[in-house]
Chain A
Amino acid sequence: MNKAGKALIELRQMDELADMESPVHSIHALIKLIVTITYIVLVVSFHKYDFTGLLIMVIYPLFLFNLSGVPIKTCFYKLRLIIPLVCMVGVFNPIFDREVLVHVGNVGISGGVISMITLMMKGVFSLMASFLLISTTKIDALCAGLRMVKCPSMLVTLTLLTYRYISVLTEEVAIMSDAYHLRAPGQKGVHYKAWGSFLGQLLLRSMDRADELYNSMQLRGFAGEFYYADRKRIGVKDIIYLIVWVGIFFFFRYVNVIGLIGNMIF
């Protein structure tokens, strides 16, 4: 299957996950967005050697995966995109930072190794949090939430329209790629002589499609903004969800629970 086909499957999968029903899915989109951003900011703000302090933050994604029923393996598949740059940056830490910070038995662990592991953990945790946000929230609900905080209608409408059209055009690209490769077996990509015409043809058709789309939207009374039939209000349950999670995050950020437990035992 070509890249476009795989992207379509991923998109559909995310839509299906967001369509599920669970206590997490029923929380207001704006509240989930605020909780997610707070979590990411606090996770990233941990010191590069604070491995034990950071470890406890795994509770949030694990609890939410459990509560929402979203499969964790789908999330790990997405790590392939962000891990390379994180690794490229982190892999030099053990080379440049060789000061031994911790001894485990006779083995000394350098600061560089700890900071590399912490960096990877930060990458994985923050990715899990944003994955959980979008796999438990429909894009329409998220956009409606953004409108509640006065995000410009132009930006929100553009996001919704683009999202809808991505599936249409990606499907066309998938069909075109398959057709091209069936006629050019063994060729790795589109030949340089067809670079312009391959995407250019689709672009010309898409521009005509955009005109037709605009005309049909105008006939239905479109005046620059979409209207949401059931704009959900923020309830008591949502406020409690926000306060509890944000409270837990700040507690874990400033109290090293794992260190305290360790001190109690040793």
Chain B
Amino acid sequence: MHMADALLSPPVAIVMDCATASMLALSVVKLRKDDSEQRLPTMAVTAALVFAGQMINYSIPGTGSSGHLCGGMLLSALLGPYAGFLSMSVILAIQCLFFADGGLMALGANIWNMAFYGCFVGYFLIWRPIMRRQSNSKGGVRGKIILASILGCVITLQMGAFSVCVETTASGISDLPFGGFLALMQPIHLAIGLIEGGITAAVLTFVYQARPELVKDAQIMDGGSKSKHALRNTLIVLGVAAGVVAGGFSLLASSKPDGLEWSLFGNAEDGYSENMGLDEEKYGVDSGMKDNAEAVQDKTSFLPDYGFKGNEENPAGTMVSGLVGAAIVAAAVVGLCFLGGFFRKRKAHAKTE
């Protein structure tokens, strides 16, 4: 799944680099807060082990072929999501630099596709909810490890493969239609996910039997351990949902009018009623100010009607607009938070003086 630089356009690559950099920064801040710098050698050795483990061929029963480990879920189950994400990112960077496996500009996209889903989505939405379910015996915990590993690897690899298709289509690199690309990528990665899930489950159950304390959240629960919906989990779920909605569903949204437009003007061409029956061209007030505003808007909007200028037919344009829009809003929110923190600190500083 390692993408070469040639498969991404600079805007898409830069958006992915920024997204990955923000997740790296979050992980570093989280680990520093937990005073986890002393765990650096453990993280490094585990990352090196996963790298070396990728070189082992595992024979797949009944097929005559062999598969190998990728490691995102394994790292997050052993180190936790933040340390796992950093370790996986370092592995991908070393693979990119020393083995030319993936491009330098595409490193952000590769980390996002292979480490973000495996470590964050895999841990917070799959591993932890499953592992925190009630179980009274070691056998029960082993069952949960197997289920979480296989589900985690399959789902996160599917998400990674979907991202590769979205990123390549948004870059306008391939003439292959989005649906065709998905039909190529998803089934291959379903098989890879199942094999990787099997290997991850086997390694983790072995480690659990020998040293249970090394596997995250693998304690025997005596019941009554319902996990609470922490703010962090909610934010992550919302973020993932926003990404999917902005990136994926904007394809559907592009050709349909929004609720307000539909109620005012209808969509008679598509067989809907005309509703208020207003003419979209004539509706509104004619004034010089309106013309000036339109001229300014035309010059400043680089993604008019959520598509690239002069290329409204291209669905990739709509999707890029969705992603860029989401990125800009996210950046504005983060900026506001920083500003808030900055002023808060200044105020606190002024008080102490």
User: Does B associate with A?
Assistant: yes
Choose among B47, B99, B100, B211 the residue with the greatest number of A CB atoms under 10 Å from its CB: B100
Known: A155-B86, A189-B66, A195-B203. A162 touches B24 (CB 8 A): no
Once A92-B176, A154-B31, A189-B66 are accepted as A-B contacts, the answer to whether A159 and B90 lie under 8 Å apart by CB is: yes
- B319, CB-defined interface residue at 8 Å: no
User: Is residue A209 within 8 Å, beta carbon to beta carbon, of the partner chain?
Assistant: yes
Given A126-B105, A206-B49, are A165 and B44 also a contact pair (CB < 8 Å)? yes
On chain B, the number of residues with a Cβ less than 8 Å from chain A's Cβ atoms is 82
Given A162-B90, A189-B58, A197-B206: A119 and B6 within 8 A (CB)?
Answer: yes
The answer to whether the Cβ of B133 comes within 8 Å of any Cβ in the partner chain is: no
Complex: A211 Cα to B139 Cα, angstroms: 29
Q: Are B56 and A206 in contact (CB under 8 A)?
A: no
CB A216 to nearest CB in B, in angstroms, measures: 9
Q: Tell me what chain A mostly uses at the interface: helix, strand, loop, or mixed.
A: helix
Contact B52 A112 (CB under 8 A): no
Q: Which of A40-48, A231-239, A243-251 contacts B (4 or more CB under 8 A)?
A: A40-48
Q: Is A263 an interface residue (CB 8 A)?
A: no
User: Given A82-B4, A170-B55, do A206 and B9 touch, yes or no (CB 8 Å)?
Assistant: no
Assess whether B103 is in contact with A127, with CB atoms less than 8 Å apart. Answer: yes
A164: B residues at CB distance < 8 A = 44
Instruction: Return chain A residues, CB-CB under 8 Å to B198.
Output: 192, 195
Of chain B, the residue at the smallest CB distance from A200 is B206
CA distance A82 to B7 in the complex (A): 10
A122 interface residue (CB < 8 Å to B)? yes
- Nearest Cβ on chain B to A254's Cβ, whole angstroms: 15
Contact B104 A166 (CB under 8 A): no
How far apart are B53's CB and chain A's nearest CB, in angstroms?
5
CB distance from A190 to the nearest CB of B (A): 5
User: For residue B4, which residues in chain A have a CB less than 8 angstroms away from its CB?
Assistant: 82, 85-86, 123, 126-127
Which of B2, B42, B66 has the most chain A CB atoms inside 10 A of its CB? Answer: B42
On whether the beta carbons of B174 and A204 are closer than 8 Å, the reply is no
The answer to whether A119 and B173 have CB atoms under 8 Å apart is: yes
Within 8 Å by CB of B104, from A40, A90, A165, lies: A40
Q: B1-19 interface mask toward A, CB cutoff 8 Å, 1 = contact, 0 = none?
A: 1111111111001000000
Nearest neighbor of B39 in chain A, beta-carbon distance: A214
B94:A159 contact, CB within 8 angstroms? yes
Distance in Å: Cβ of A110 to nearest Cβ of chain B: 11
**Contact between B94 and A158, CB atoms less than 8 A apart:** no
B8: A residues at CB distance < 8 A = 44
Counted as pairs of residues, one from A and one from B, with CB atoms less than 8 Å apart, the total is 263
Task: Collect the chain B residues with CB atoms within 8 Å of residue A158's CB.
Answer: 40, 43-44, 47, 86-87, 90
Contact string, B64-107, partner A, CB cutoff 8 A, digits 1/0? 11110100000000100000001101110110111111111100
* Interface segment, one of A4-12, A20-28, A57-65, A101-109: A4-12
With an 8 A cutoff between CB atoms, is A68 at the interface?
A: no
Query: Which of B55, B99, B176 interacts with A96 by CB under 8 Å?
Result: B176
Q: Does B199 contact A (CB under 8 A)?
A: yes
| A136 interfacial contact with B, CB 8 Å | no
Is the CB of B240 closer than 8 A to any CB of chain A?
A: no
Q: Which residues of B contact A131 (CB under 8 A)?
A: 100
- Residue of chain A at shortest CB distance from B176: A92
Shortest CB distance B55–A (Å): 4
Residues in A neighbouring B57, C-beta threshold 8 A = 3, 188-190
* A198 part of interface (Cβ distance < 8 Å): yes
A257: interface (CB < 8 Å) = no
Complex contact A206–B210 (CB within 8 A): no
| CB pair A165 B48 closer than 8 Å | yes
Chain B CB within 8 A of A258 CB: no
Contact present for A130 and B96 (CB under 8 Å): yes
Whether, in the assembled complex, A256 has its beta carbon less than 8 Å from a beta carbon of chain B, the answer is no
Closest Cβ–Cβ distance, residue A155 to chain B (whole Å): 6
Contact A89 B10 (CB under 8 A): no
* B198 closest partner in A (C-beta): A195
Question: In the complex, A123→B284 CA distance in Å?
Answer: 51
* Complex contact B40–A112 (CB within 8 A): no
Contact flags (1/0) for A47-84 with B, using CB distance below 8 Å? 01000000000000000000000000001001101100
Say which residue of A85, A152, A190 sits within 8 Å of B28 (CB atoms).
Answer: A152
Residues of B within 8 A of A210 (CB): 41-42, 44-46
Separation in Å of the A255 CB from the closest CB of chain B? 19
Measured CB to CB, the residues of A under 8 A from B are: 2-4, 7, 10-11, 14, 36-37, 40-41, 43-45, 48, 75, 78-79, 81-82, 85-86, 88-90, 92-93, 95-97, 112, 115, 119-120, 122-123, 126-127, 129-131, 133-134, 139, 152, 154-155, 157-159, 161-166, 168-170, 172-174, 177, 187-192, 195-204, 206-207, 209-211, 213-214, 217, 224
Beyond A92-B174, A134-B98, 16 additional contacts (C-beta under 8 Å) are: A3-B57, A4-B55, A10-B99, A48-B172, A82-B103, A92-B175, A123-B5, A123-B6, A155-B28, A165-B48, A170-B51, A196-B204, A206-B45, A206-B46, A206-B48, A207-B42
Chain B positions within 8 Å of A, measured between CB atoms, are: 1-10, 13, 24-25, 28, 31-32, 37-38, 40-49, 51-53, 55-61, 64-67, 69, 78, 86-87, 89-91, 93-94, 96-105, 168, 172-177, 180-181, 184, 198-199, 202-207, 210-211, 214
Considering the complex of A and B, which 5 residue pairs feature the smallest CB-CB distances, nearest first?
A200-B206, A196-B206, A161-B44, A196-B202, A189-B59
